[in-house]
Structures are given as C-alpha cells and as structure tokens.
Amino acid sequence: MDYNSNREKLLLPEYGRNVQMMVDFAMKIEDRDERNKAAKTIISIMGNMYPHLRDVSDFRHKLWDHLAIMTDFKFDIDSPYELPTKEKLAEKPQVLPYNNHRIKFRHYGKIIESMVKKAIEIEDEKEQSALILMIANHMKKSYANWNKEGVTDEKIFKDIVDLSKGKLNISANLKLRETHDKDFQTKTKKKTFHKNDNRKFTKKK
C-alpha cells in the first residue's frame, strides 16, 4: 500500500496531493509556452477550491505566490505578478515597539489623560469649564462601569486635579450627573419573544 505518510511532505497541504502532482508534472514540461498554459490551468483549479475568496482583491496574486512555494521557487514561468523569493518569505517581521505609557487611572483610560492635557491648554474659562464638565461626567460614567460602589463628585474632581498636576481649577458650582441617570445606564438589547413563546399547552383527553 502507498500511504501518504510514506510520500514526500506537501509544502502547502491545503491544496491536496493531486494539485501538487500537477505542479510536479508541469515543472517537467520543457516547452515554455506549454508550461505557462499548465500553470494557468493549475491556478484556475486552485482558485476553484476556494470560490468564496474570489472577491478578495489580492486573491489571484496569492494563488501565484502559492504556486511558486509549491515548486520550491524553481518554476520558470511568465507570472503576471512579481513572484516572491525564498529569502523574502523567510524574512522575519519587524518587532513592534511595546507601548510603555503608564496610565495613572486605568479605569479612566489614556484618552481622558489626553483630554485633561487639552483642557489645560485652553485659555477661555467658559470653554475650559465646559470641557472639564464633559471630562468629569465621562470619568464618573467610567468609574461606575468598573466599580460596583458609587462615586462622589468630589472624588472625580480630585482625580482631575491629580491628572492635571494641579493645573486645573474646579469650580465650586460644578455639578455632575447622577449615576442613576439614563446616560449612565448600560444599554442592553431588549429581548424579544416569539408570539408563540408563551403559549399554553393543554393535555389532550
């Protein structure tokens, strides 16, 4: 018996051994034009195996790249795309720098810190006060989402002053929304029931 475990390992097993055998046969064709025709036929077969991906913009480009990989980059054909090289494929991606920015109050998030910095730069008192009020209400909502206990306005104002390093002054008349207001409630999708969900079943006599 000829078992697959005894055969040569497939470079791209998702296309199956039959496609690999076609590729191996096409590589042995001496006439270049005939090789190009065979390559296009194989590409069509490979594409038909994944019809749901046909609308992907670079799908056909990927098929030609996969064909090159299945030939171990030794297929001498006229590809409509620039074929990858073994060295290019083996390149490791660049390491992304890790964000080491420390957030003072994680339950408020980094955006709040940026908004506080922006509020410090505003010279107009009314405009600055309006932004502080918006920031404070958002902070109160975030605090309520992450903590079961309630939070006082004084706590929020203290955190704003702390985030601004004392550069923002909070007006004594500033009043925040209550946590039971609609804007502070977590929106949940209403459950809908089928009209027959509550039907009663009667036992047949």
Residue-level pLDDT at 168: 86
Instruction: Estimate to the nearest angstrom the gap between the alpha carbon of 166 and the chain centroid.
Output: 38
Helix, strand and coil in the chain, % to nearest 5: 50, 0, 50
- In terms of Cα–Cα distance, which of 134, 184, 135, 143 is closest to 163? 135
Residue-level pLDDT at 62: 92
d(CA 126, CA 135): 14
- In terms of Cα–Cα distance, which of 103, 173, 94, 166 is closest to 139? 103
Residue-level pLDDT at 42: 95
pLDDT tens for each residue of 159-198 = 899 989 888 888 777 788 876 655 555 544 444 445 554 5
Residue-level pLDDT at 66: 93
For residues 29, 31, 35, 37, the Cα torsion angle rounded to the nearest 10 degrees is -130
Task: Kindly state the percentage of the chain with pLDDT values over 70.
Answer: 82
Q: Is the pLDDT of residue 137 over 60?
A: yes
Q: Which of residues 144 and 23 earns the better pLDDT score?
A: 23
Residue 150 token pair = 């309630």
Mean pLDDT of 53-59: 84
pLDDT confidence bin for 200, thresholds 50/70/90: very low
Q: Write down the pTM of the prediction.
A: 0.48
pLDDT tens for each residue of 83-105 = 888 888 888 888 877 766 777 88
Residue-level pLDDT at 54: 80
DSSP H or E segment with residue 14: none
Instruction: Estimate to the nearest angstrom the gap between the alpha carbon of 115 and the chain centroid.
Output: 25
In the three-class reduction of DSSP (H, G, I as helix; E, B as strand; rest coil), residue 115 is classed as helix
HSE of 81, CA atoms in CB hemisphere, 13 A: 16
Residue-level pLDDT at 191: 47
Q: Is the pLDDT of residue 30 over 50?
A: yes
pLDDT confidence bin for 151, thresholds 50/70/90: confident
Q: Is the pLDDT of residue 122 over 60?
A: yes
Buried/exposed 91-109: b ≥16 CB within 10 Å, e otherwise: eeeeeeeeeeeeeeeeebe
Residue-level pLDDT at 98: 74
